[in-house]
C-alpha cells in the first residue's frame, strides 16, 4: 500500500531514470528517530534538512546550510516529504530529472523531539502545526539543540521557516561548519568525488 504522504515525492520523479529510492519498502523505525542533512548540488547548491517523523522524512531546503552559531538564522524552505530510505541516498540525479545534480550525505544521526508548550511536552504533529519545533541532534557533525521556527516576518515580508542553533554547550560561534566540514559522513567523499563516481 503506497504511502499517500509520499505522493508528491513520487509525482516529481521517474524512478526508471533517477537512482533515488522510490520508498516502497518502509524502513523499520529505530529506537530513536533519525535525521539527515544532505548537500545537494542542484541548480542552486543547498542543504536539505530532514527529520524522521511517523515513517516519513519531513524536509526543508536550507540554502546556506546549518550554522553552529545561535545568533545565525538560516532560511529553511519546506519541501515534500521523502521516504525513510532517502536517509542514506548519495549519488547523482541525472540531468533532465527533478533535482538533477549530486547529493551527499553531509550528516546523519538520531534526534530527540523536545518541544514544550507552557512547560509541557507536545507531540511533533502539534509542534509542526504550531510552527515551532525543538530537537536535540546527535549527528556526526551537528550536535545539541536546534529549533525550526515558522515566521511571517522574513525580510521582504515573506514567510518561511528558520533553522537556528540553540545556545548550549554544543554551540560554536567561531566555526562555519559548512566550510570546515565538506565530506560525506557515509563515504568520506567530497561532492566532486561523488559527482565523478569515485
Q: In terms of CB distance, is 93 or 122 closer to Mn ion? A: 93
Told to check if 48 binds Mn ion by CB under 5 A, we report yes
The DSSP-derived string for 16-75 is: TT--S----SPPPP-SS-EEEEEEEESSSEEEEEEEEETTEEEEEEETT---S-TT-EEE
Does position 58 interact with Mn ion (CB under 5 A)? The reply is no
Using the rule CB under 5 A, give the single segment among 16-24, 46-54, 112-120, 180-188 that binds Mn ion: 46-54
Nearer to Mn ion, 48 or 90 (CB): 48
What would the grid cell of residue 112 be?
A: 530527540
Q: For Mn ion, which stretch binds (CB under 5 A), given 28-36, 48-56, 65-73, 110-118?
A: 48-56
Query: Which C-beta is closer to Mn ion: that of 13 or that of 132?
Result: 13
Q: Which residues, other chains included, contact 152 with Cβ-Cβ below 8 Å and sequence gap of 6+?
A: 159
The one segment of 19-27, 35-43, 130-138, 145-153 that binds Mn ion by CB under 5 A:
35-43
Which is closer to Mn ion, CB of 12 or CB of 172? 12
Q: Which of residues 135-174 bind Mn ion (CB under 5 A)?
A: none
Residue pointed to by grid coordinates 544532505:
38
Q: Is 50 in the site for Mn ion (CB under 5 A)?
A: no
Q: How many residues bind Mn ion (CB under 5 A)?
A: 2
The per-residue b/e assignment along 117-140, b for 16 or more CB within 10 angstroms, e otherwise, is eeeeebebeebbeeebbbbbbbbe
Which listed range, 45-53, 68-76, 86-94, 110-118, lies at the site for Mn ion (CB under 5 A)?
A: 45-53
Comparison of 48 and 107: residue with beta carbon closer to Mn ion: 48
Judged by DSSP in three states, 117 sits in: strand
Which residues partner with 34 through β-bridges?
Answer: 110
Grid coordinates of 170:
554544543
Q: How far is the CB of 171 from Mn ion (least distance, A)?
A: 26
Binder of Mn ion out of 18, 33, 35, 40 (CB under 5 A):
40
Closest CA to 62 of 106, 116, 122, 95: 106
Provide the binding-site residues for Mn ion, judged by CB under 5 A: 40, 48
Amino acid at each position: 500500500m503506497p504511502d499517500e504522504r509520499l505522493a508528491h515525492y513520487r509525482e516529481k520523479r521517474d524512478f526508471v531514470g533517477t537512482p533515488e529510492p522510490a520508498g516502497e519498502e518502509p524502513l523499520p523505525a529505530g529506537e530513536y528517530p533519525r535525521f539527515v542533512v544532505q548537500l545537494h548540488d542542484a541548480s542552486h547548491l543547498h542543504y536539505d534538512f530532514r527529520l524522521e517523523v511517523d515513517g516519513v522524512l519531513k524536509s526543508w531546503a536550507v540554502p546556506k546550510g546549518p550554522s553552529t552559531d545561535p545568533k545565525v538564522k538560516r532560511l529553511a524552505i519546506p519541501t515534500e516529504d521523502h521516504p525513510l530510505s532517502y536517509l542514506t541516498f548519495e549519488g547523482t540525479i541525472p540531468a533532465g530529472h527533478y533535482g538533477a545534480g549530486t547529493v551527499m550525505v553531509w550528516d546523519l544521526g538520531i534526534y530527540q523531539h523536545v518541544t514544550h508548550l507552557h512547560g509541557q511536552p507536545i507531540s511533533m504533529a502539534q509542534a509542526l502545526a504550531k510552527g515551532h519545533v525543538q530537537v536535540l541532534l546527535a549527528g556526526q557533525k551537528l550536535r545539541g539543540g536546534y529549533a525550526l521556527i515558522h515566521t511571517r516576518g522574513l525580510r521582504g515580508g515573506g514567510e518561511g521557516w528558520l533553522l537556528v542553533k540553540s545556545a548550549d554547550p554544543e554551540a560554536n560561534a567561531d566555526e562555519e561548519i559548512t566550510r570546515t566540514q565538506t565530506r560525506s559522513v557515509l563515504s568520506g567523499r567530497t561532492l566532486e568525488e561523488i559527482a565523478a563516481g569515485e
